[in-house]
Amino acid sequence: MEMDPGHPFETSWVSACPRGLWKVQRKQTHKESPQTVSHSGDGASCSSSYCPRLGSLCQVRVRLKAGPDEAESSGPEKGLGGQSVQPDQRVTETDATAFPRSRNSVLQVPLGDWTTLRLGEGQCDITETCVEGMRAGEKCEILISPVGNGPAVSVPHPVEENMPLCVTVELKAFTPGKESWEMSPVEKCQWVKSHKETGGVRFRSGDVWGAADRYSRALKLLITLHGHVKEVEKKGQEQESEEQRDTNTGYQLHQLPTANEFKTIKAELHSNMSLCQLKLNQPRRAKVSATKATHLEPGGAKAWYRMGQACQMLNELEEARQAFRKLLELQPESPAALKALKDIASREKEINAQLGLRLSKMFS
């Protein structure tokens, strides 16, 4: 994405929040003061040249500014329960800040106070993306503006009514995390389960963008498990139980899904992604996701229904009819499938009538 020459911001990306898609432009990160990476429990520390990774607990502070050259303002939002992290406090599991995503906020995190987030959970896409490239003791400045004609959900907010927003993000300390390739298969499974469950919670709350983000994260991790699941399946349960324990979690590798369970989970995630994409008016993507789901689980009724819906939105009526007929094979009295087929027949009749009218005018 091209940069606005009027602002000295060096990188940009697009982030999602409950209010839609937002363009984020970021200035060069700079150090505030020497800090260390906090290690929970052992009191040790390592060089601040390291950056947070998946699972890192990060102490962050997000503040609004009136403009790129103005002083920071904490805004009206405060830390939950009036609690804030003290400057000399080390990061521990008990510091993690739990709060729901809000449709009334772009930034999601409480403004002005120190907040502890776990990287990878997608609580605030904008904040997490900033923190991923920062070191302890650093601060970065970002400019946030809605993509296109504005957010998908327009909710007035006294702090965020004047766009674009100028924001500073500070990272004080963080615990060590892991890159995905460093994680054990069991750890990846736990993240997949967490992402899938949270995606469902977000969707039910109306946070469709947030749900799609979680399902996408789950799929990316699940794909890396494919080879191991196949290997374990071949070795059999007895050999699998003799494999080494995961020293980080203490769980046996036989707690990984079987090959069939793996396919089912992957199909459900693609089907859920398809539903999100339909809600976000992305029928082409929804069709692709539903197609993947039906290939993995041909008996998945929801995926066939979403395939039919996507094809209807794309005006691909014959493919839509085939999808709904497949749904009727699985659920013979499905009201949704029967109604959809009637709608398709009505639509085709209307198209044929319009075509006949045009032809009659051509030859009259």
Looking at domain 1-37+57-63+110-177, which CATH architecture does it have?
A: Roll (3.10)
Confidence of residue 70 (pLDDT cuts 50, 70, 90): low
The pLDDT value recorded for residue 19 is: 76
Give bridge partners of residue 23 from the DSSP assignment. Answer: 14, 145
Cα–Cα distances in Å, from 295 out to 37, 223, 271, 298, 319? 45, 16, 11, 6, 15
116, 58 contact by CB (below 8 A): yes
Confidence of residue 38 (pLDDT cuts 50, 70, 90): low
What's the CATH superfamily of 182-358? Answer: Tetratricopeptide repeat domain (1.25.40.10)
Q: Which residue has the higher pLDDT, 244 or 91?
A: 91
Confidence of residue 320 (pLDDT cuts 50, 70, 90): very high
The DSSP code for 4 is -
Q: Whole-angstrom Cα distance, residue 122 to residue 198?
A: 10
The pLDDT value recorded for residue 323 is: 97
Residue extents of the structural domains in the chain: 1-37+57-63+110-177, 182-358
Q: Whole-angstrom Cα distance, residue 189 to residue 204?
A: 23
The pLDDT value recorded for residue 17 is: 81
Residue 151 pLDDT more than 60? no
Q: What would the two tokens of residue 303 be?
A: 């995926």
The backbone torsions φ and ψ at residue 62, rounded to the nearest 5 degrees and listed phi first, read -115, 125
Residue 133 pLDDT more than 60? yes
Q: Whole-angstrom Cα distance, residue 126 to residue 332?
A: 46
Mean pLDDT lowest for which of 186-200, 237-251, 262-276? 237-251
Q: Tell me, yes or no, if the pTM score tops 0.75.
A: yes
Q: Which of 3-7, 26-30, 334-338 has the highest mean pLDDT?
A: 334-338
The pLDDT value recorded for residue 157 is: 45
The pLDDT value recorded for residue 88 is: 41
The pLDDT value recorded for residue 228 is: 78
19, 124 contact by CB (below 8 A): no
Confidence of residue 242 (pLDDT cuts 50, 70, 90): low
Residue 343 pLDDT more than 50? yes
Give bridge partners of residue 21 from the DSSP assignment. Answer: 16
Instruction: Name residue 4's amino acid.
Output: D
Q: What would the two tokens of residue 202 be?
A: 């977000």
Q: What is the mean pLDDT of the chain?
A: 79
Q: Which residue has the higher pLDDT, 278 or 236?
A: 278
Residue 266 pLDDT more than 80? yes
Residue 97 pLDDT more than 80? no
The pLDDT value recorded for residue 339 is: 95
Output b/e per residue, 118-135; b: 16+ Cβ within 10 A: bbbbbbbbbbbbbbbebb
Cα–Cα distances in Å, from 178 out to 35, 120, 188, 248? 20, 10, 11, 11
Residue 83 pLDDT more than 70? no
Q: Whole-angstrom Cα distance, residue 142 to residue 29?
A: 10
Q: Which residue has the higher pLDDT, 14 or 307?
A: 307
Question: Which of 160, 302, 185 shows the shortest CA–CA distance to 249?
Answer: 185
170, 61 contact by CB (below 8 A): yes
The pLDDT value recorded for residue 155 is: 37
Instruction: Name residue 324's amino acid.
Output: F
Residue 259 pLDDT more than 70? yes
Q: Which residue has the higher pLDDT, 261 or 237?
A: 261
The pLDDT value recorded for residue 102 is: 82
292, 323 contact by CB (below 8 A): no
Give bridge partners of residue 198 from the DSSP assignment. Answer: none
Mean pLDDT lowest for which of 30-34, 99-103, 147-151, 155-159? 155-159
Instruction: Name residue 145's amino acid.
Output: S
The pLDDT value recorded for residue 250 is: 40
The DSSP code for 252 is -
Confidence of residue 108 (pLDDT cuts 50, 70, 90): confident
Confidence of residue 93 (pLDDT cuts 50, 70, 90): low
Mean pLDDT lowest for which of 77-91, 172-186, 205-219? 77-91
Confidence of residue 203 (pLDDT cuts 50, 70, 90): very high
